Structure 1
Amino acid sequence: MNDDLMLKNQLCHRFYTVSNAFSRAYRPLLAKLDITYPQYVVLMSLWENEGITISDLVEHTQIDSGAMSLILKKLTSKGFLTVSQAQDDKRVKIVSLTAYGRKMRATASNIPQQMRCDIAALSDSQARTLIELIDKLSSGLQRSLCQRENES
Protein backbone atom coordinates (compact mmCIF):
# COMPACT_ATOMS: atom_id res chain seq x y z
CA MET A 1 0.00 0.00 0.00
CA ASN A 2 1.29 3.47 -0.92
CA ASP A 3 1.96 5.45 2.28
CA ASP A 4 1.49 8.74 0.38
CA LEU A 5 -2.29 8.23 0.38
CA MET A 6 -2.64 7.27 4.01
CA LEU A 7 -4.70 9.83 5.92
CA LYS A 8 -2.33 9.77 8.91
CA ASN A 9 0.46 11.03 6.62
CA GLN A 10 -1.43 14.05 5.28
CA LEU A 11 -0.33 17.47 6.50
CA CYS A 12 -3.47 19.05 5.03
CA HIS A 13 -5.69 16.80 7.16
CA ARG A 14 -3.91 18.01 10.29
CA PHE A 15 -4.78 21.59 9.34
CA TYR A 16 -8.37 20.58 8.66
CA THR A 17 -8.79 18.98 12.09
CA VAL A 18 -7.01 21.87 13.87
CA SER A 19 -9.20 24.38 12.03
CA ASN A 20 -12.32 22.54 13.20
CA ALA A 21 -10.99 22.39 16.76
CA PHE A 22 -10.27 26.13 16.73
CA SER A 23 -13.78 26.83 15.47
CA ARG A 24 -15.30 24.78 18.28
CA ALA A 25 -13.06 26.45 20.88
CA TYR A 26 -13.90 29.97 19.69
CA ARG A 27 -17.65 29.40 19.37
CA PRO A 28 -18.61 29.85 23.08
CA LEU A 29 -16.23 32.81 23.48
CA LEU A 30 -17.65 34.61 20.45
CA ALA A 31 -21.25 33.80 21.41
CA LYS A 32 -20.97 36.53 24.07
CA LEU A 33 -20.49 39.02 21.22
CA ASP A 34 -23.02 37.26 18.95
CA ILE A 35 -20.44 36.93 16.17
CA THR A 36 -18.78 34.18 14.15
CA TYR A 37 -15.05 33.62 13.82
CA PRO A 38 -14.82 35.32 10.38
CA GLN A 39 -16.70 38.31 11.83
CA TYR A 40 -14.23 38.34 14.73
CA VAL A 41 -11.31 38.40 12.27
CA VAL A 42 -12.82 41.43 10.53
CA LEU A 43 -13.38 43.19 13.85
CA MET A 44 -9.81 42.48 14.98
CA SER A 45 -8.55 43.98 11.74
CA LEU A 46 -10.71 47.08 12.26
CA TRP A 47 -9.66 47.42 15.90
CA GLU A 48 -6.12 47.50 14.52
CA ASN A 49 -6.79 49.73 11.47
CA GLU A 50 -10.07 51.58 11.67
CA GLY A 51 -11.48 53.48 8.71
CA ILE A 52 -9.91 51.39 5.94
CA THR A 53 -11.12 50.45 2.49
CA ILE A 54 -12.84 47.16 1.83
CA SER A 55 -9.95 46.14 -0.45
CA ASP A 56 -7.45 46.83 2.35
CA LEU A 57 -9.63 44.82 4.73
CA VAL A 58 -9.73 41.91 2.27
CA GLU A 59 -5.95 42.03 1.92
CA HIS A 60 -5.32 42.28 5.67
CA THR A 61 -7.70 39.46 6.66
CA GLN A 62 -7.21 37.24 3.58
CA ILE A 63 -10.99 36.75 3.42
CA ASP A 64 -12.27 36.65 -0.16
CA SER A 65 -14.32 39.62 -1.32
CA GLY A 66 -17.59 37.69 -1.73
CA ALA A 67 -17.47 36.40 1.83
CA MET A 68 -16.32 39.83 3.03
CA SER A 69 -19.45 41.47 1.60
CA LEU A 70 -21.66 39.09 3.57
CA ILE A 71 -19.63 39.58 6.75
CA LEU A 72 -19.79 43.37 6.44
CA LYS A 73 -23.56 43.28 5.90
CA LYS A 74 -24.02 41.13 8.99
CA LEU A 75 -21.74 43.26 11.17
CA THR A 76 -23.48 46.40 9.93
CA SER A 77 -26.89 44.96 10.81
CA LYS A 78 -25.58 44.08 14.29
CA GLY A 79 -24.38 47.65 14.79
CA PHE A 80 -20.63 46.99 14.85
CA LEU A 81 -19.64 49.05 11.82
CA THR A 82 -20.62 51.28 8.93
CA VAL A 83 -19.63 51.19 5.28
CA SER A 84 -19.54 54.52 3.47
CA GLN A 85 -18.22 56.01 0.24
CA ALA A 86 -14.79 57.60 0.25
CA GLN A 87 -14.83 61.40 -0.09
CA ASP A 88 -12.46 61.49 -3.06
CA ASP A 89 -13.69 58.40 -4.97
CA LYS A 90 -17.31 57.28 -4.64
CA ARG A 91 -16.41 53.81 -5.95
CA VAL A 92 -14.22 53.17 -2.90
CA LYS A 93 -15.95 52.01 0.28
CA ILE A 94 -14.59 52.81 3.73
CA VAL A 95 -15.30 50.53 6.70
CA SER A 96 -15.47 52.20 10.12
CA LEU A 97 -16.40 50.97 13.56
CA THR A 98 -19.42 52.41 15.34
CA ALA A 99 -19.19 53.43 18.99
CA TYR A 100 -20.68 50.01 19.79
CA GLY A 101 -18.02 48.29 17.66
CA ARG A 102 -15.23 50.15 19.46
CA LYS A 103 -16.82 49.32 22.83
CA MET A 104 -16.91 45.61 21.99
CA ARG A 105 -13.11 45.58 21.78
CA ALA A 106 -13.02 45.69 25.58
CA THR A 107 -15.53 42.82 25.73
CA ALA A 108 -13.35 40.77 23.36
CA SER A 109 -10.07 41.64 25.03
CA ASN A 110 -9.92 38.45 27.11
CA ILE A 111 -10.55 36.08 24.17
CA PRO A 112 -6.87 35.73 23.14
CA GLN A 113 -5.85 34.87 26.71
CA GLN A 114 -8.66 32.32 26.99
CA MET A 115 -7.59 30.73 23.70
CA ARG A 116 -3.96 30.72 24.84
CA CYS A 117 -5.08 28.70 27.88
CA ASP A 118 -6.79 26.26 25.52
CA ILE A 119 -3.51 25.64 23.72
CA ALA A 120 -1.32 25.57 26.84
CA ALA A 121 0.32 22.40 25.51
CA LEU A 122 2.46 24.75 23.40
CA SER A 123 5.01 27.02 25.04
CA ASP A 124 5.16 30.65 23.93
CA SER A 125 8.30 29.83 21.96
CA GLN A 126 6.65 26.85 20.27
CA ALA A 127 3.60 28.98 19.41
CA ARG A 128 5.84 31.63 17.79
CA THR A 129 7.72 28.93 15.85
CA LEU A 130 4.43 27.41 14.71
CA ILE A 131 3.23 30.82 13.50
CA GLU A 132 6.48 31.27 11.54
CA LEU A 133 6.17 27.81 9.99
CA ILE A 134 2.51 28.28 9.07
CA ASP A 135 3.30 31.68 7.51
CA LYS A 136 6.13 30.08 5.52
CA LEU A 137 3.83 27.27 4.38
CA SER A 138 1.06 29.71 3.44
CA SER A 139 3.46 31.88 1.48
CA GLY A 140 4.80 28.87 -0.41
CA LEU A 141 1.29 27.67 -1.24
CA GLN A 142 0.33 31.15 -2.48
CA ARG A 143 3.39 31.24 -4.77
CA SER A 144 2.56 27.78 -6.13
CA LEU A 145 -1.04 28.83 -6.77
CA CYS A 146 0.08 31.94 -8.64
CA GLN A 147 2.50 29.90 -10.77
CA ARG A 148 -0.24 27.40 -11.66
CA GLU A 149 -2.66 30.19 -12.55
CA ASN A 150 -0.03 31.84 -14.76
CA GLU A 151 0.65 28.54 -16.54
CA SER A 152 -3.05 28.00 -17.32
Structure 2
Amino acid sequence: MTNEPSLNAPRLHRQVCFAMYSASRAATAAYRPMLEELGLTYPQYLVMLVLWEEQPRSVRELGEELGLDSGTLSPLLKRLEALGLVERRRSSEDERRVEIFLTDAGAALSSDATGIPQRLADAAGLSPAELDRLRDTLGRLTAALHSSR
Protein backbone atom coordinates (compact mmCIF):
# COMPACT_ATOMS: atom_id res chain seq x y z
CA MET A 1 0.00 0.00 0.00
CA THR A 2 1.41 3.36 -1.01
CA ASN A 3 0.67 6.87 0.21
CA GLU A 4 1.10 8.21 -3.31
CA PRO A 5 -2.14 9.68 -4.70
CA SER A 6 -3.52 8.17 -7.85
CA LEU A 7 -2.57 10.01 -11.02
CA ASN A 8 -6.30 10.20 -11.79
CA ALA A 9 -7.23 11.67 -8.42
CA PRO A 10 -8.81 15.14 -8.51
CA ARG A 11 -6.31 17.93 -7.90
CA LEU A 12 -7.28 21.04 -5.98
CA HIS A 13 -5.48 23.45 -8.30
CA ARG A 14 -7.36 22.02 -11.30
CA GLN A 15 -10.83 22.51 -9.82
CA VAL A 16 -12.94 25.32 -11.26
CA CYS A 17 -14.95 25.41 -8.03
CA PHE A 18 -11.82 26.18 -6.00
CA ALA A 19 -10.67 28.85 -8.44
CA MET A 20 -14.10 30.55 -8.17
CA TYR A 21 -14.11 30.20 -4.39
CA SER A 22 -10.61 31.68 -4.10
CA ALA A 23 -11.40 34.51 -6.51
CA SER A 24 -14.62 35.32 -4.65
CA ARG A 25 -12.81 35.50 -1.31
CA ALA A 26 -10.03 37.63 -2.81
CA ALA A 27 -12.54 40.01 -4.44
CA THR A 28 -14.52 40.36 -1.22
CA ALA A 29 -11.31 41.09 0.68
CA ALA A 30 -10.32 43.70 -1.93
CA TYR A 31 -13.73 45.35 -1.62
CA ARG A 32 -13.60 45.48 2.19
CA PRO A 33 -11.47 48.64 2.65
CA MET A 34 -13.33 50.43 -0.15
CA LEU A 35 -16.69 49.61 1.38
CA GLU A 36 -15.52 50.51 4.88
CA GLU A 37 -15.14 54.06 3.53
CA LEU A 38 -18.88 53.95 2.79
CA GLY A 39 -19.75 52.24 6.07
CA LEU A 40 -21.06 49.17 4.24
CA THR A 41 -20.39 45.46 4.25
CA TYR A 42 -20.21 43.61 0.94
CA PRO A 43 -23.75 42.15 1.23
CA GLN A 44 -25.09 45.61 2.13
CA TYR A 45 -23.31 47.04 -0.90
CA LEU A 46 -25.05 44.48 -3.13
CA VAL A 47 -28.46 45.51 -1.75
CA MET A 48 -27.62 49.16 -2.34
CA LEU A 49 -26.51 48.43 -5.93
CA VAL A 50 -29.91 46.90 -6.68
CA LEU A 51 -31.73 49.86 -5.11
CA TRP A 52 -29.56 52.41 -6.92
CA GLU A 53 -30.68 50.80 -10.17
CA GLU A 54 -34.39 50.90 -9.34
CA GLN A 55 -36.55 51.55 -6.33
CA PRO A 56 -38.73 50.73 -4.61
CA ARG A 57 -38.07 47.01 -4.61
CA SER A 58 -40.01 44.50 -2.60
CA VAL A 59 -38.14 42.29 -0.18
CA ARG A 60 -39.05 39.36 -2.42
CA GLU A 61 -37.65 41.10 -5.53
CA LEU A 62 -34.41 41.93 -3.71
CA GLY A 63 -34.08 38.33 -2.58
CA GLU A 64 -34.60 37.02 -6.10
CA GLU A 65 -32.16 39.51 -7.63
CA LEU A 66 -29.45 38.75 -5.09
CA GLY A 67 -30.14 35.05 -4.58
CA LEU A 68 -30.76 35.57 -0.85
CA ASP A 69 -33.49 34.13 1.32
CA SER A 70 -35.53 36.33 3.64
CA GLY A 71 -33.68 35.01 6.70
CA THR A 72 -30.46 36.47 5.30
CA LEU A 73 -31.96 39.56 3.69
CA SER A 74 -34.10 40.79 6.60
CA PRO A 75 -31.16 41.45 8.98
CA LEU A 76 -29.31 43.21 6.14
CA LEU A 77 -32.27 45.49 5.52
CA LYS A 78 -32.71 46.18 9.24
CA ARG A 79 -29.06 47.21 9.50
CA LEU A 80 -29.31 49.44 6.39
CA GLU A 81 -32.42 51.01 7.89
CA ALA A 82 -30.60 51.59 11.20
CA LEU A 83 -27.83 53.29 9.19
CA GLY A 84 -30.47 55.62 7.71
CA LEU A 85 -29.88 54.41 4.15
CA VAL A 86 -33.17 52.65 3.41
CA GLU A 87 -36.72 52.71 4.61
CA ARG A 88 -39.09 49.75 4.72
CA ARG A 89 -42.76 50.45 4.05
CA ARG A 90 -45.81 48.24 3.69
CA SER A 91 -47.40 48.50 0.26
CA SER A 92 -50.65 50.44 0.21
CA GLU A 93 -51.91 47.99 -2.44
CA ASP A 94 -50.97 44.80 -0.59
CA GLU A 95 -50.24 44.91 3.16
CA ARG A 96 -48.24 41.66 2.90
CA ARG A 97 -45.73 43.31 0.55
CA VAL A 98 -42.87 45.25 2.12
CA GLU A 99 -41.17 47.72 -0.21
CA ILE A 100 -37.69 49.08 0.27
CA PHE A 101 -36.95 52.73 -0.56
CA LEU A 102 -33.69 54.63 -0.48
CA THR A 103 -33.53 57.54 1.92
CA ASP A 104 -31.89 60.75 0.74
CA ALA A 105 -28.69 59.60 2.46
CA GLY A 106 -28.90 56.21 0.74
CA ALA A 107 -29.39 57.81 -2.66
CA ALA A 108 -26.52 60.24 -2.06
CA LEU A 109 -24.19 57.38 -1.15
CA SER A 110 -24.28 56.18 -4.76
CA SER A 111 -22.07 59.08 -5.84
CA ASP A 112 -19.48 58.06 -3.23
CA ALA A 113 -19.56 54.50 -4.61
CA THR A 114 -19.10 55.34 -8.29
CA GLY A 115 -15.34 54.74 -8.28
CA ILE A 116 -15.46 51.36 -6.59
CA PRO A 117 -15.83 49.19 -9.74
CA GLN A 118 -12.80 50.88 -11.34
CA ARG A 119 -10.76 50.55 -8.16
CA LEU A 120 -11.50 46.83 -8.07
CA ALA A 121 -10.65 46.51 -11.77
CA ASP A 122 -7.34 48.28 -11.13
CA ALA A 123 -6.61 45.95 -8.21
CA ALA A 124 -7.40 42.92 -10.41
CA GLY A 125 -4.97 44.02 -13.10
CA LEU A 126 -7.38 42.98 -15.85
CA SER A 127 -8.48 45.08 -18.77
CA PRO A 128 -12.12 46.19 -19.02
CA ALA A 129 -12.60 43.70 -21.88
CA GLU A 130 -11.15 40.85 -19.79
CA LEU A 131 -13.41 41.73 -16.87
CA ASP A 132 -16.44 41.88 -19.19
CA ARG A 133 -15.61 38.43 -20.60
CA LEU A 134 -15.08 37.03 -17.11
CA ARG A 135 -18.40 38.45 -15.86
CA ASP A 136 -20.21 37.09 -18.94
CA THR A 137 -18.64 33.65 -18.54
CA LEU A 138 -19.52 33.53 -14.86
CA GLY A 139 -23.08 34.64 -15.67
CA ARG A 140 -23.44 31.83 -18.20
CA LEU A 141 -21.99 29.35 -15.73
CA THR A 142 -24.39 30.48 -12.99
CA ALA A 143 -27.40 30.26 -15.31
CA ALA A 144 -26.40 26.80 -16.55
CA LEU A 145 -25.87 25.46 -13.05
CA HIS A 146 -29.20 26.88 -11.86
CA SER A 147 -31.03 25.31 -14.79
CA SER A 148 -29.37 21.93 -14.27
CA ARG A 149 -30.89 21.47 -10.80
Would you call these one fold, judging by a TM-score over 0.5? yes
Output the amino acid matched with 1:133.
T
Q: Determine if contact 1:81/1:101 at 8 Å carries over to the other structure.
A: yes
Q: Determine if contact 1:3/1:9 at 8 Å carries over to the other structure.
A: no
Could you tell me the TM-score, scaled by structure 2's length? 0.91
Q: Determine if contact 1:50/1:95 at 8 Å carries over to the other structure.
A: yes
Q: Give the Cα–Cα distance (whole angstroms) in 2 for the partners of residues 4 and 96 of structure 1.
A: 51
* 1:111 and 2:116 aligned: yes
| Structure 2: tracts of 5 or more residues without a match | 1-5
Q: Give the Cα–Cα distance (whole angstroms) in 2 for the partners of residues 59 and 119 of structure 1.
A: 28
How far has the Cα of 1:16 moved from its partner?
0.8
* 1:53 and 2:24 aligned: no
Given candidates 130, 139, 142, the residue that maps to 2:134 is 130
1:87 aligns to what SS in structure 2?
Answer: coil
Output the amino acid matched with 1:95.
I
2:100 aligns to what SS in structure 1?
Answer: strand
Q: Give the Cα–Cα distance (whole angstroms) in 2 for the partners of residues 57 and 126 of structure 1.
A: 28
Given candidates 1, 4, 7, the residue that maps to 2:12 is 7
Given candidates 96, 104, 108, the residue that maps to 2:101 is 96
Q: Give the Cα–Cα distance (whole angstroms) in 2 for the partners of residues 35 and 124 of structure 1.
A: 25
Output the amino acid matched with 1:64.
D
Q: Determine if contact 1:84/1:93 at 8 Å carries over to the other structure.
A: yes
2:3 paired residue number: none
How far has the Cα of 1:63 moved from its partner?
2.3
How many correspondences in the alignment? Answer: 144
Please give the per-residue CA displacement for 1:26-54, whole angstroms capped at 9, x wherever unaligned.
00000011111010000010000111111
Output the amino acid matched with 1:41.
L
2:44 paired residue number: 39
Q: Give the Cα–Cα distance (whole angstroms) in 1 for the partners of residues 131 and 40 of structure 2.
A: 26
Q: Determine if contact 2:35/2:42 at 8 Å carries over to the other structure.
A: yes
2:38 aligns to what SS in structure 1?
Answer: coil
1:149 paired residue number: none
Q: Give the Cα–Cα distance (whole angstroms) in 2 for the partners of residues 17 and 129 of structure 1.
A: 19
* Structure of higher CA gyration radius: 2
| Structure 1: tracts of 5 or more residues without a match | 146-152
Instruction: Give the percent of matched residue pairs that are identical in Structure 1 and Structure 2.
Output: 32
